[in-house]
Amino acid sequence: MGLKERRAEAEALLRRAQEAAEAGEALPPRTFARNGFAFLVAGLDLQVSILGKPIAPLELGMAELRGKLQALAGPPPYRTEALSEAYTYPILFRDPDGRVTEAYLYQGEDGPTLGGEEADRPDWHEVAAILQDALAALPSADYEDRAWDPDAGAWIYYGVRAGEPFEDLVEGEDPPEWAE
Residues written for the chain? 180
Q: Is the pLDDT of residue 180 over 70?
A: no
pTM, two decimals, is 0.93
* Each residue's pLDDT tens digit, 36-89: 999 999 998 888 888 889 999 999 999 999 999 999 999 999 999 999 999 999
Buried b (16+ CB within 10 A) or exposed e, 50-73: bebeebbebebbbbbbbbbbbbbb
The average confidence (pLDDT) of the chain is 93
Q: Name the phi and psi angles at 141, rounded to 5.
A: -95, 145
* Each residue's pLDDT tens digit, 156-169: 999 999 999 999 99
Domain segments of the chain: what residues? Answer: 3-139
Q: Which DSSP helix (H) or strand (E) runs through 121? A: none
Average pLDDT over residues 123-144: 96
Higher pLDDT, 134 or 118: 134
* Each residue's pLDDT tens digit, 97-106: 999 999 999 9
Q: Is the pLDDT of residue 177 over 70?
A: yes
Which residues have C-beta within 8 Å of that of residue 69, sequence separation ≥ 6? 41, 76, 89, 105
